[in-house]
């Protein structure tokens, strides 16, 4: 079963769910130092409401779910939600994106609850710089979290690195070298202008730079439908992916996803402003058929492409933490 088709023939089979807008870090490209006004508990969807949305999505052919945030692990009893979602027929992949700071004590419970994959965001391997970029965190916690994830059986762990010019672009080769020894996927992301504190570095420039280490060979075996384009350094165990929302136009042409915000709005495009309210109908006892109709409406609203890019940079109104990255 394929996901519902949008007006441009893309099969939408992937839903990213932000389970909370709260985060225990304040990354400079994502949030202001004081954080963002927090949604109250009653504003965000309950686990039962999220379950209902996923049930409707699965009935339409959406088979991949990713939990994100904010920081998903700051929401209480996350394994409970994972268990609820993993039981829904048709869901083939249930993954999570986390900053890794709370992973050490949660990895095993997440795995046992049915989580299939974990991506950890990590922008630097230097403790002082980590504190500068995240404003609150400790690198040690994340590194221990990654080890715990591996021990719990998550394999491979994906590392997401937002590359900021003049801030961490001198560490690209260190991240790339990690793939020689470890079966990890390191993915470099162009910084998007949610909070204009840092300049992005185009992926082409990163590829040229990494090419100084060795030949980078395209790796087609794990392309999937996601936005990353993968390569492998000759002889390396792991791979290097590039996510290029600003410079590589096929980023949108392969888009297969929608996003659900913590307060129950379905966003057809991360970088657009359209949202469809699911929370109100959910709280008015909407039927499965009604939820499915609203999800299809969001699919029908997917724009052909986003309009961020060189010369056309504007700030997206919601912060990344309020949408779910
Ligand atoms: N707290 C979790 C984490 O850190 O992975 C999940 C939420 S976070 C918003 C999800 C992803 O979005 C992270 O990999 C983060 O680096 C990325 N992100 C946030 N702001 C970004 C920006 N302005 N440009 C590119 N990626 C961004």
Residue 311: per-residue pLDDT? 47
Ligand 1 pocket, 200 CB below 6 A? no
The count of C-alpha atoms lying within 13 angstroms of the C-alpha of 217, restricted to the half-sphere facing its C-beta, is: 10
Sheet holding 93-98, edge to edge: 216-218, 229-233, 239-243, 185-190, 158-163, 117-121, 93-98, 64-68, 14-18, 257-260, 265-267, 276-277
Q: Which of 188, 257, 320, 322 best tests ligand 1's pocket when mutated (most atoms within 8 Å of CB)?
A: 320
Ligand 1 pocket, 321 CB below 6 A? yes
Residue 308: per-residue pLDDT? 67
Spatial separation of the C-alpha atoms in residues 133 and 99, rounded to whole Å? 12
Burial class (CB in 10 A: 0-12, 13-18, 19+), 37: exposed
Ligand 1 pocket, 198 CB below 6 A? no
Spatial separation of the C-alpha atoms in residues 193 and 249, rounded to whole Å? 17
Residue 223: per-residue pLDDT? 54
The residue whose CA is least distant from atom 7 of ligand 1 is: 69
Per-residue pLDDT of the chain (325 residues; tens, 9 = 90+): 689 999 999 999 999 999 999 999 999 999 888 888 899 999 999 999 999 999 999 999 999 999 999 999 999 999 999 999 999 999 999 999 999 999 999 999 999 999 999 999 999 999 999 999 999 999 999 999 999 999 999 999 999 999 999 999 999 999 999 999 998 999 999 998 775 567 899 999 999 999 999 999 999 776 556 789 999 999 999 999 999 988 986 778 889 999 999 999 999 998 787 899 999 999 999 999 999 999 999 999 999 987 765 444 455 566 666 666 6
Spatial separation of the C-alpha atoms in residues 1 and 223, rounded to whole Å? 20
Residue 322: per-residue pLDDT? 67
Q: Which of 22, 24, 28, 30 best tests ligand 1's pocket when mutated (most atoms within 8 Å of CB)?
A: 30
Closest atom of ligand 1 to 200 CA is 24
Spatial separation of the C-alpha atoms in residues 143 and 65, rounded to whole Å? 25
The residue whose CA is least distant from atom 17 of ligand 1 is: 325
Residue 318: per-residue pLDDT? 65
Measured in angstroms, how far is the CA atom of residue 1 from the centroid of ligand 1?
Answer: 30
The residue whose CA is least distant from atom 4 of ligand 1 is: 99
The number of beta carbons lying within 10 Å of the beta carbon of residue 164 is: 20
Residue 316: per-residue pLDDT? 58
Ligand 1 pocket, 30 CB below 6 A? yes
0.75 surpassed by pTM = yes
Spatial separation of the C-alpha atoms in residues 287 and 291, rounded to whole Å? 6
Residue 197: per-residue pLDDT? 65
Residue 310: per-residue pLDDT? 47
Ligand 1 pocket, 137 CB below 6 A? no
The count of C-alpha atoms lying within 13 angstroms of the C-alpha of 296, restricted to the half-sphere facing its C-beta, is: 11
């Amino acid at each position: 079963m394929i996901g519902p088709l949008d007006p441009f023939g893309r099969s939408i089979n992937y839903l990213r769910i932000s389970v909370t807008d709260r985060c225990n870090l304040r990354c400079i490209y994502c949030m202001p130092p004081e954080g963002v006004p927090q949604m109250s508990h009653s504003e965000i969807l309950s686990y039962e409401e999220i379950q209902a949305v996923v049930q409707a999505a699965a009935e339409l052919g959406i088979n991949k779910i990713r939990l994100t945030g904010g920081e998903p692990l700051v929401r209480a009893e996350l394994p409970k939600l994972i268990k609820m979602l993993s039981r829904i027929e048709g869901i083939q992949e249930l993954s999570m994106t986390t900053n890794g700071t709370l992973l050490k004590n949660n990895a095993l419970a997440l795995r046992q609850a049915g989580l299939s994959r974990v991506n950890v965001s990590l922008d630097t391997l230097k403790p002082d710089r980590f504190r500068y970029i995240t404003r609150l965190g400790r690198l040690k916690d994340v590194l221990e979290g990654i080890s715990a994830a591996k021990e719990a059986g998550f394999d491979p762990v994906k590392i997401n690195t937002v590359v900021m010019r003049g801030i961490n672009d001198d560490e690209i080769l260190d991240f790339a070298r990690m793939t020689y020894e470890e079966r990890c996927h390191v993915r470099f992301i162009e910084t998007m202008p949610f909070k204009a504190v840092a300049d992005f570095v185009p992926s082409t420039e990163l590829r040229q730079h990494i090419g100084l280490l060795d030949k980078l060979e395209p790796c087609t075996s794990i392309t999937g439908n996601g936005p990353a384009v993968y390569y492998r350094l000759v002889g390396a165990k792991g791979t290097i992916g590039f996510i290029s929302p600003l410079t590589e136009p096929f980023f949108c042409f392969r888009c297969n996803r929608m996003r659900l915000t913590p307060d129950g709005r379905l966003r057809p495009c991360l970088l657009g402003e359209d949202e469809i309210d699911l929370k109100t109908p959910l709280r008015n006892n909407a039927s499965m058929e009604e939820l499915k109709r609203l999800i299809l409406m969001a699919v029908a609203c997917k724009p052909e492409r986003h309009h961020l890019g060189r010369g056309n940079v504007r700030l997206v109104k919601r912060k990344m933490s309020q949408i779910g990255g």
